[in-house]
Structure 1
Amino acid sequence: MGVDERAPLFLMGSDKLGRDIYSKVLHGARISLSIGLVGVFLSLIFGTILGGISGFYGGRTDTLIQRLIEVLMSFPSIPLWMALAASLPPSWSPLVVYFMITLILSLIGWTGIGRVVRGIVMRLKEEKYTEAAILSGASNSYIIRKHLIPGATSFIIAQATLSIPAMIIAETSLSFLGIGLRPPL
């Protein structure tokens, strides 16, 4: 590949201090992907539970949860992330900051998944098998757990897959502004 036998091979070159850029990119990608996956997993839990409750019960519960979603979605994302991330004390270790930023991003990012789950649950609630389960005396938690959530799984997976890049971009934006993850992470 054009290097001497004893010279190190840097696939993406090296920085001014002679450190391999490729290994630094791999290390940074590992952190970003883990924030994306963990954050989307937490958002998936919040959104599935609250969206399922909202779509199944309707009425005041639905109205309350939908107004909460609308309030969270009405704030501009980046300033809200910045305000919450800037409130983290600088004395915390990088690992605690990592988990708190993941939690902040997932507490704000569950709204899209919650709306998707609500719509699907409202549609599936009108299906014949759900009505049969209601007429046979099945409990609400059984109907949600065994009929509605499995019926919505494909949509939930698609929404979660689309949310991973958004979560990674949010974390990267905070780090770029200096209020996200700090070196050495």
Structure 2
Amino acid sequence: MAQATSLRTNPVLQRFRKHRLAVWGGRILLVLYLMAAFAGFFSPYDPNYYELYPPKGNHPPTRIHFVDPETKRLSRPFVYATKRSIDPVSLQPRYEEDPSQGKFYVRFFVRTPEHPYTVFKVFRSDLRLFGVDPPGRIFLMGTDNFGRDLFSRIVYGGQVSLTIGILSALVSFALGLLLGGIAGYFSGRPFHLSLPPSRWRGLGLVLGPLSFLLWLGLAAAALFLALSFARLSPGKDPFSLGIDALVVLLGALAAGAILYRLFREPIRLDPDDLIMRTVEIIAAIPSLFLLISLRAVFPTDVDPLLTFYLVVGLLGFIGWGGLARVVRGIVLSVREMDYVQAARALGASDGRIIARHVLPATASYVIVSLSLTIPGFILGESGLSFLGLGVTEPYTSWGLLLQAAQQGGFASFTDRPWVLWPGFFIFLSVLSWNFLGDGLRDALDPRRRT
């Protein structure tokens, strides 16, 4: 009782509840994530199930009747079977209700032993929220060009799109907090990098491999540019050949100087400079271009489950820079606080000071930033899948469903607009996350007291 009373009087919770859009955003997200978590229960069919005969490709949403046409009174919800024909003008399939086959009543909590599913890959079940008896079919949002139920595919697609948003944000925030904290706390305290790696100690164990790869990449880039200039040079006269040889020689000398410095002399590196320069390099490249370029490095025919984790890693990798920059600024101010200085005077290690005293000061910003970053990753996954570089069949996502709609051309707008439903769910989830993040920002702002 006392705990419930304290929750009601919590000023942060009170400020959040005053933000009506944030409350509704949280409710919508709760519904979306519950549907995605229990997709098998909420979807009437398996997402990849379709019938060869009678074909149901591009079937419009099924009309649900609540009034019995014979008695003109309210009755149990029911649907009619449909019969398919081809429009002689547009050559598109046309479906008409066929009352001669009888009524198919909508039933709740039905069993489908022919289409079982698993919950969290652990529990096996065949219970579904609603359905109709065969040969009747109920398509709340129509079907795609193969005749697969679009509502079921949207519910299952939410598992991928919504999960990728959270997992990518966690990867991004793990990198951003770690590297941003290191950059801020160890700013002005350079370490010496020398080879072999067995000499790396302390912070060098974390930043040593990164800095080594950067220097090695710089040497390889200098040599590659010189060789590319010589290979692409059109001139064949002695003067042009001499220029090519000079460029290759300069490139080799530059690469040799970098390698000599790397292998013969210790390199003095400031963690702040190293991490922030890396952030600036990533930020200088457009995010979508960088994401497509990194995805193109890997083959497109890899296992679909591996593609899922690959997209998570790529989205997290390109999204940590902004958080690291802000965390660095917060840590730079917090590390000079009296309680941090007292902990250092008492002999606390750097790792303990960062974990117990410095990073907790960034908690409010991290919570707000996390809620505002997730929708960006949802859009990123949707964009990759829309371009054919993200999740592939037999898995599905909202972006992949939009790609299928785009393949239908302008007819997707005129003849079968129901295939655009995945775009609405992308819009709804992104908008809800933004409302929720806006409410959390106002609720956690220490300057707001009312």
TM-score (norm 2): 0.40
Matching residue's letter, 2:320: W
Counterpart selection for 2:167 from 35, 38, 45: 38
Deviation at 1:31? 0.3
Mapped to 2, the partners of 1:87 and 1:140 lie a distance apart of 38
Mapped to 1, the partners of 2:176 and 2:327 lie a distance apart of 7
Does the residue aligned with 2:367 lie in a helix, a strand or coil?
helix
Question: Counterparts of 1:87-106 in structure 2 under 5 Å?
Answer: 87-106=297-316
Mapped to 2, the partners of 1:44 and 1:122 lie a distance apart of 18
Mapped to 2, the partners of 1:156 and 1:116 lie a distance apart of 10
Deviation at 1:16? 4.5
More helix by percentage = 1
Residue equivalent to 1:53:
182
Residues 160-169 or 9-18, more deviating: 9-18
Mapped to 1, the partners of 2:146 and 2:183 lie a distance apart of 55
Residues 7-16 or 96-105, more deviating: 7-16
Deviation at 1:64? 1.2
CA contact (8 A) 1:56 1:121 kept: yes
Does the residue aligned with 1:15 lie in a helix, a strand or coil?
coil
CA contact (8 A) 2:300 2:389 kept: no
Counterpart selection for 1:132 from 321, 342, 348: 342
Residue equivalent to 1:122:
332
CA contact (8 A) 2:177 2:327 kept: yes
C-alpha offsets along residues 14-55 of structure 1, whole Å, 9 cap, x if unaligned?
A: 334443211111111110111111111111111111000001
C-alpha offsets along residues 148-177 of structure 1, whole Å, 9 cap, x if unaligned?
A: 111211211211211111111111111111
Q: Residues 138, 32 of structure 1: CA spacing in aligned structure 2 closer, same or farther, 3 A cutoff?
A: same
Question: Counterparts of 1:170-185 in structure 2 under 5 Å?
Answer: 170-185=380-395
CA contact (8 A) 1:116 1:155 kept: no
Residue equivalent to 2:407:
none
Deviation at 1:84? 1.0
Residues 159-168 or 67-76, more deviating: 159-168
Does the residue aligned with 2:320 lie in a helix, a strand or coil?
helix
Question: Counterparts of 1:156-167 in structure 2 under 5 Å?
Answer: 156-167=366-377
- Give aligned pairs, total: 185
Counterpart selection for 2:295 from 85, 109, 116: 85
Q: Residues 111, 89 of structure 1: CA spacing in aligned structure 2 closer, same or farther, 3 A cutoff?
A: same
CA contact (8 A) 1:105 1:170 kept: yes
CA contact (8 A) 2:181 2:331 kept: yes
Residue equivalent to 1:113:
323
Higher relative contact order (CA 8 A, sep 6+): 1
Q: CA RMSD in A?
A: 1.5
Deviation at 1:112? 1.5
- Structure 2's unaligned 5+ residue stretches are 1-63, 66-78, 80-102, 106-132, 189-269, 396-450
